[in-house]
A and B are shown apart, each in its own frame.
Chain A
Amino acid sequence: MQRKVVCATAWALVVLAAAIVVGCAPKKQASTDSASKVQITGAGSTFVYPLMSRWSSEYAKQTGVQVNYQSIGSGGGIQQFKEGTIDFGATDVAVSEEEEKTFTRPFVQFPVVAGTEAVVYNLPGITQNLKLTPDVLVDIFLGKVKKWNDARIAQLNPDVQLPDMNIVVVHRSDGSGTTYIFTDYLSTVSSEWEQKVGRGKSVSWPTGVGAKGNEGVTGQVKQLPGAIGYVELNYARQNNLAFAAIQNAAGQFVLPSQETGTAATRAAIERLQQDVRSSIVNMPGENAYPITGFVYVLLDKQPKDTAKSAEMKKYFEWVLKDGQKIAAELDYVPLAEEVVQMSLQKLAEVP
């Protein structure tokens, strides 16, 4: 009796499995046939992920072309692109000349959007934007300026009643493009920082505590009086954190915003035309915000699937033209017109 039941169940399972296999196979065929639309797959930078999703949903609405983007991190994006498992990679840090030599296929990289990083802080009762010079900022992150009422900070902010409070540096604990851009800036303005710490996605921080992700740093700064950290501008805005005006290369104190970020990309155009990898931190220009960076896209110059490559080209043309308005809506920094032109030229190298 029992064995019969077992047998019957086993048979039922086998039949069910067969039905599933048989039932699924033709359906799969049908879906690829009928859609016949290209599926573009990209991966990389987590910073650009919210914007990428918005871009692809808007683009799918207009054209029906599906762009799938996985936010696995810039390093992962470069790796996967190199191995040829994805159609395009996105990274916050341009692929360096050295790294480029390890690629087996020719590719192009160009900026698609930019972002600015705010230096955020938590000082109870102080909502004004503090003014900070590069050397004071460096010394805070080196652990040399330890108190908020330090004479050097007070001198820059005579109208602010600064508290006698310890400065606690909060940095990213995970490897990130955000950290790269920030430490790139600190290395650019200070040879001491460059020698002691240097630039990288993860560095050996002289002081402070680490928190995971932009949201981690935001949370930590928000609840810890005396804390200072760096986050993408939209995190500072959405969480109502106070942020500093940083003195730029032209000597002006500038707040992070779309306009000041775009101004920085505009100021960088000559360097970019010489080398697209050029860092755009601490750019000259009255209105340029100094802690600004690009998101780059990597595309194959000799794609296997030319039909797909053509679709991808159309998509990125759209991103560089119409996509910039959407970027502004989401608190990213739209590229200056000159930079858009340069990126379009780079894109033209793709067949």
Chain B
Amino acid sequence: MNEPATDAAASARIRRHSRSTAFWSDRLFRAVIIASASVLGLLVLFFAYELWQSSTLSIRTFGWRFWVSRDWDPVREKFGALPFIWGTLVTSIAALILAVPLSLGTAIFIAEVAPRWLQQPVSFVVELLAAIPSVVYGLWGVFVMVPWLREHVQIPLEQRFGHIPLFQGPAVGVSMMAAILVLAVMIIPYITAVSREVILAVPQSQREASYGLGATKWETIRRVVLRYARVGILGAIILGYGRAVGETMAVTMVIGNRPEISLSLLQPGYTMASVIANEFTEATSPLYLSSLTEIGLLLFVITLLINALARFLVWRVSRGEVRY
């Protein structure tokens, strides 16, 4: 009979305590975190508004045709974004397809398979790769990878498979293929580093339970570790994709900067980020400038859509609706 009463008294005391001593600091803390969160939200809204505002001229002039037009003629002021959208999507998705298996393999190796003395050096090398500035990747791409690629990959491919649209020549080195490879190399360290952390965070008890049931190492990794870590790994992949979509410098240096839609991997292409970086400084006419801004807006929208899609995937996966 007496107990609930003391309980109530205790909780009242606690409440009073928190109100009297921690009241102002809690309030302040709350205000600060709410402010920082809303600053970020407002910033995104501000960006969207600003991009929209600056591209109204182009939107009014070209309308929806801007999305599907292949023209890019600054002299006659005819602009269309399709080749850039194509280049951005193809290079980033293909880079992801190359990078994900390699990164996951490396992450699993570091976290699960490698002997202890090897773990640190391999992780170190991976993190080192992530720290290299993109312009350095670009330089390496232009002076080392592209000539090698042309001699040893593209020309043989063109000679043997030139009749297939995918490998139509002439091979000149700088190409969609070069951009895809550079992007893949650039995003591997990101996906690897984050996936490794996620895999390491899988509780040891999960693995022990699996081994206890007689599972092999491969079965444990596939059925238990990767399954447990899948949301985090998906997050790592999204992070890598985000970088691939937005990468500018390294891509510009190896892609050949040609606003054309070609199925061939050996042909040059162009991306949205690259065209903005290339032409923004000397774009003096209002319509030209506005069209470049609209490409920025499109990039913003596409990134937003991809992120939303990824969020949706994460949500589905974490609810366990998607099985593999």
Residues of chain A having any CB pair with chain B under 8 Å: 72-76, 78-79, 99, 166, 168, 173-176, 197-205, 208-212, 216, 219-220, 223-224, 227
Contact = CB atoms under 8 A, between A and B. Distances in A.
14 contacts: A74-B282, A75-B281, A76-B282, A175-B74, A175-B278, A201-B284, A202-B279, A203-B75, A204-B74, A210-B268, A210-B278, A212-B257, A223-B173, A224-B147
B258 A176 contact: no
A205 B174 CA distance: 16
A173 B281 CA distance: 12
Contacts of A201: 74, 282, 284
B142 interface: yes
Contacts of A212: 252-253, 257, 278
B174 A209 contact: yes
A205 B260 CA distance: 11
Contacts of B73: 203-204
A210 B252 CA distance: 9
B183 interface: no
Nearest to B282: A175
A219 B257 contact: no
Contacts, number: 92
B282 A73 contact: yes
Contacts of A176: 282
B257 A202 contact: no
Contacts of B259: 204
B111 to A, nearest CB: 37
Contacts of A210: 256-258, 268, 278
B292 to A, nearest CB: 10
A46 B79 CA distance: 26
B284 A174 contact: no
Nearest to A92: B282
Contact of B74 (A76, A203, A211): A203
Of all A-B residue pairs in the complex, the 5 with the closest CB atoms, nearest first, are A175-B282, A210-B257, A173-B257, A198-B75, A209-B256
Given A73-B281, A173-B278, A200-B74, A211 B257 contact: yes
A79 B284 contact: yes
A209 B281 contact: no
Given A175-B278, A197-B75, A204-B73, 13 more contacts: A75-B284, A175-B279, A201-B74, A201-B282, A204-B76, A209-B174, A209-B257, A209-B268, A210-B268, A212-B253, A223-B142, A224-B150, A224-B173
Contacts of A174: 277-279, 281-282
